[in-house]
Structure 1
Amino acid sequence: MLLTTLTVAFDGQHVVKRFFTPRARPAFGADAGAVRISAIDFAHRQFRHLVLTERAYLAAHSAEPILKDIKLTTGTTFADLGVGESLIEVLAARGISHPFPIQIETLPDTLGGRDVLGRGKTGSGKTLAFSLPMVSRLAGRPRRPARPTGLVLAPTRELASQITATLQPLAAVNGLRVTTIFGGVPQGRQVTALNSGVDIVVACPGRLEDLMKQRLISLDSIEITVIDEADHMADLGFLPGVTRILAATPSGGQRLLFSATLDNGVDKLVNRFLHDAVLHSVDSSDSPVPQMVHHVFHVSGAAAKKDLVHRLASGTGRRILFMRTKHQARKLAKQLTESGVPAVDLHGNLSQPARDRNLAAFSKGEARVLVATDIAARGVHVDGIELVVHIDPPAEHKAYLHRSGRTARAGNAGDVVTVVLPEQRKDTHALMRRAGIRVTPQEVTADSAAVHELVGDIAPYQAPAPKQVAAPKKAGAPKKGAAPKKGAAPRNGAAPHGSPRPRSAGSGGRRRGPRPGRMRQETS
């Protein structure tokens, strides 16, 4: 194991300078305004993310800490990994200057054309890990209608849309076009985009298979295929469709598969379709994130729970509240909005335009609170979510970790609260144990000090938008299809009410048999 000493300079609040050099042993202590911290490189001689807590700092230095939490990143750059200058400029414009561990580990292999199996938790930087090599390697390829050269498969519409949002600016620099394909909306625009010529398709398996069956898209020109969140594909029962889709792509193409786990058939997918794949794993699967602080709040009953939830939703930052049912999510979002806390809901009953509208409102800050069911646990990738609240604790520990993964993303800190009724305490304790979370439950009310500290400043009251009232209909105008009032003059020559309607010449009334030329053919 290589011990690496990292010298970090501070301006009192932030890391302002980073150096790291190999050394034979750890080194602690302050030196000329800097702090020296040692970390172990476990595999590839690359420094990984490290959070030095206040307690660890005091133990090492026996002095007052400069920072409560010190977050360190590698000195490796995207240029060191082989990423082109034009793409680096796009990343810099988005405030991304240094790669995350999964990008450091995978980019040399993916840019080199090798198949890669990447294992990492949500928020670890997987999207850029496959987007950068895809746009780099597909640049300059001929473009043909309905024959893309790159394919990304995603389990949900929300995730597919957000992958596209990451890909598009990178692809545009290299002259590539990207389109998104998913169900829940008419396929017309998607087919039009395909026929106009696209290079990369980001798709959900169901709609993609529909278009393949209609011969509206061909995968015979695919050079790079990405399967993102393959474990979630398995959970949703999509693996048979994914298998058929991969079988329709050329066997010699590059394939990149990203999954937190390799169970539920994901391993079979890897064995069949990835050739001589390189495995890269960042953090163990289904493990808690170090920068994520977990809280378990015990409440006395339903009324106390309602008050606590409204208090947790009242802060100034973005937060996601998870509920078990669609009806409850819709109801709570409405209640919060009416109480002056702008909120939107996200669940399976929403149309795609409504989902897009609500996610956009949440992303732009027009709504500070998103009330969601588990459909959003993997589909929402919005930066700056400071708090996740499990109003209804999930049944499975994987669902708990995936829900919680909406905060503390990409090295940022975040808090996760689980609200527990008396009858849920035993199950929640078992849930936390399976998730690897060690936390001491607290008996709280909405006015408890622990809750006030977590919520922080209360956001100002925001009056809900006035409801739109439909314009009144013109007086006397009968409803479409309604019979005229008795005694009223007939319209357009119609017979008066109660009189038989005259039949046109040759009319025999309603036709009972099949139309000529439309006789149904009997099968033998």
Structure 2
Amino acid sequence: MIETKPQKVYSFNGLGIAPRILEILTELGYLTPTPIQWQSIPASLAGKDLVGIAQTGTGKTLAFSIPMIQLLAVRKGRGLVVLPTRELALQVDEHLKIIGGKIGLRTAVLIGGEPIGKQLNALKRKPHIIIATPGRLVDHAQRRTVNLMDVKILILDEADMMLDMGFLPQIKEILKLVPKQRQTMLFSATMPNQIIKIASEYMALPTRIEVAPSGTAAENVEQEIIVIDRESKFGYLKRILAETKGSVLIFARTKHSVKKLAQKIGQAGFSAAEIHSNRSLGQRRMALNGFKLGQYRILVATDIAARGIDVKEIELVINYDLPEKSGDYVHRIGRTGRAGKSGKAISFVLPGQLKNVREIERLISKTLKINKIAPDHNASRESIDIAGQRRGARTNFSRKFKSFDKNKKRFVGDSFNKSRGPRNQRRSYNYAPRPMTDKEKFRRSMLRGRM
């Protein structure tokens, strides 16, 4: 790959962008390009294949949207944008319409969860750009409802996330369906071996541009680690939510824990919405739009939304559960502190998870501020743990007996174990046989006489 050196450019004027698009950018308030934009736009406008490595919130969408709109205005053919999630597809479509809608740009969104008929109608209007998730795009190709042989510009956005979600077979199928003579731009937060292989096999001497490489967290995000036990987590969360006036994005590990946590937050008197894979596309869209418009101050989400939420001015990100992968920590906190503004990220960590914190620190090359919260002994024993399961007071009674005397009709030398917790902490109570009454002695003698 050809390495590029950044050039000092402080506005969009020197990047080769068409005057009409510059006017639109000025009207929309885009005056200063981000590093990924001012490094990638000139190479893209020159028709070069490009690999852009940058974290979320660095302006990648605009970096490929501007060149694609400008090039398609003078070229025959269409553009194709492939992304991992529905939310990302809808947001890219929104960006393209804002910029290209004023010059007659038509788009079609092909994603799961929407009726095929609606998408067929959009394809009949001969869109200039198709935005699609891999699975639904391959589905259309198999139905022969879309022809990709006229694709001149291909964008693979959030490529590493698509690989993590298991879309590699679909990506390879799409690369076979598009013409070999095309311009390809690949954007990713990380550069695993599979992406290097895709770039070498399916791209023509791509220019590599790296801005904020893997593990780079936003400098203007204040990060804090809270070491806390499970039973105290929700009580401390309520305290933080009461003290925070702006919008809050909360991440939990599983869809089950997201649902339960959103319910508990609502019951505590806060307005909250939830996004996870069990929600329909309409429900996810309503939740995200409600969060953007201020209808919901709090949004609870799984990692599927970490790179799919583009909401301005999120004041606080809370990791109620630590992510499974350290790299996802960077994507999560990247939802705040965007566009040069400051933000804050708080992560709840169980006492036994400090090794995970060390992994995150090694990844971001930064020592995190750690505060320990004393256990809340008044907290309810019933809470949502890191796996999304209920954990409450548990009492387990078990009896173990040494022997049973048939003649005495009772247990002899019995050992009663009342257990709660590890076996070595169980309390044992040993009972000696009580003296027999005269009636019991007479009954025993009668039984022996019969024998």
Both structures adopt the same fold (TM-score exceeding 0.5): yes
- Whole-Å Cα distance in 1 between the matches of residues 149 and 296 of structure 2? 43
**1:319-374 superposed Cα distances (whole Å, 9 cap, x missing partner):** 11111121221122122223221110010100000010000001111111110111
- Over 3 Å counting, the alpha-carbon distance change for 1:256 and 1:340 in structure 2 is same
Cα drift, residue 231 of structure 1: 0.8
Q: Is 1:171 the counterpart of 2:100 in the alignment?
A: yes
CA contact (8 A) 1:387 1:416 kept: yes
Letter in 2 for 1:246: L
The yes-or-no answer on 1:94 pairing with 2:28 is yes
Structure showing greater Rg:
2
Structure 2 residue 300 is the aligned partner of structure 1 residue 338: no
CA distance in structure 1 between the aligned counterparts of 2:339 and 2:63, rounded to whole angstroms? 13
State the match for 1:348 in structure 2: 277
Alignment equivalent of 2:172, drawn from 232, 243, 259: 243
Q: 3-state SS of the aligned residue for 2:52?
A: strand
Aligned to 2:232: 304
Q: Do structure 1's residue 442 and structure 2's residue 371 form an aligned pair?
A: yes
Q: Are positions 1:204 and 2:105 aligned together?
A: no
* C-alpha separation in 2, matches of 1:253 and 1:430: 40
1:488-499 pair list within 5 angstroms? none
- Check the 8 A contact 2:215/2:363 in 1, yes or no: no
Structure 2 residue 322 is matched with structure 1 residue 393? yes
- 1:409 is matched with which residue? 338
Distance 2:295 2:27 in 1: 24
Name the counterpart of 2:5.
43
User: What is the match of residue 323 of structure 1?
Assistant: 252
Q: Which whole-Å CA distance do the structure 2 matches of 1:82 and 1:431 have between them?
A: 40
Structure-2 separation of matches of 1:364 and 1:212? 36
Q: Which digits, 9 at most, give the CA deviation of each residue in 1:107-133, with x for residues without a partner?
A: 111111111111111111110000000
TM-score (norm 2): 0.79
Please report how far the alpha carbon of residue 93 of structure 1 lies from its aligned counterpart in structure 2 after TM superposition.
2.8
Give yes or no for contact 1:294–1:416 (8 Å, CA) kept in 2: yes
Look up the match of 2:61. 127
How much does 1:264 deviate? 4.5
Question: 1:476-518 CA deviation, whole Å, 9 max, x = no partner?
Answer: xxxxxxxxxxxxxxxxxxxxxxxxxxxxxxxxxxxxxxxxxxx
Amino acid at match of 2:259: R
Distance 1:207 1:346 in 2: 20
Q: Which runs of 5+ in 1 are unaligned?
A: 1-41, 47-73, 143-147, 448-524
Residue 441 of structure 1: SS of its match in structure 2? strand
Q: Deviation at 1:444? A: 3.4
Structure 2 vs 1, CA of residues 169 and 440 (structure 1 numbering), >3 Å: closer, same or farther? closer
- Which residue in the other structure is 2:198 paired with? 269
Once the two structures are TM-superposed, the CA of residue 140 in structure 1 deviates from its matched residue by 5.2
- Aligned-partner SS, 1:201: strand
Paired residue secondary structure (2:315): strand
Q: Quick one: which amino acid aligns to residue 267 of structure 1? A: I
Deviation at 1:445, TM superposition (A): 6.5
Are the equivalent residues in 2 in contact too, given 1:171–1:178 (CA < 8 A)? no
User: Of 170, 177, 183, which aligns to 2:112?
Assistant: 183
CA shift digits 1:449-468 (9 cap, x unpaired): xxxxxxxxxxxxxxxxxxxx
Which has a greater percent of helix?
A: 2
SS at match of 1:113: coil
Q: Any gaps of 5 or more consecutive residues in structure 2?
A: 377-451
CA contact (8 A) 1:136 1:174 kept: no
d(CA) in 1 for partners of 2:234, 2:207? 49
> Aligned partner of 2:220: which letter?
Q
Equivalent of 1:230 in 149, 159, 164:
159
SS at match of 1:313: helix
Please report the TM-score for the alignment, with normalisation by the length of structure 1: 0.68
SS at structure 2 position matched to 1:226: strand
Q: Which amino acid aligns with 2:240?
A: L
Deviations along 1:124-153, one digit per CA (max 9) or x if unpaired, are 1110000000000111556xxxxx611001
- Of 220, 227, 230, the residue aligned with 2:149 is 220
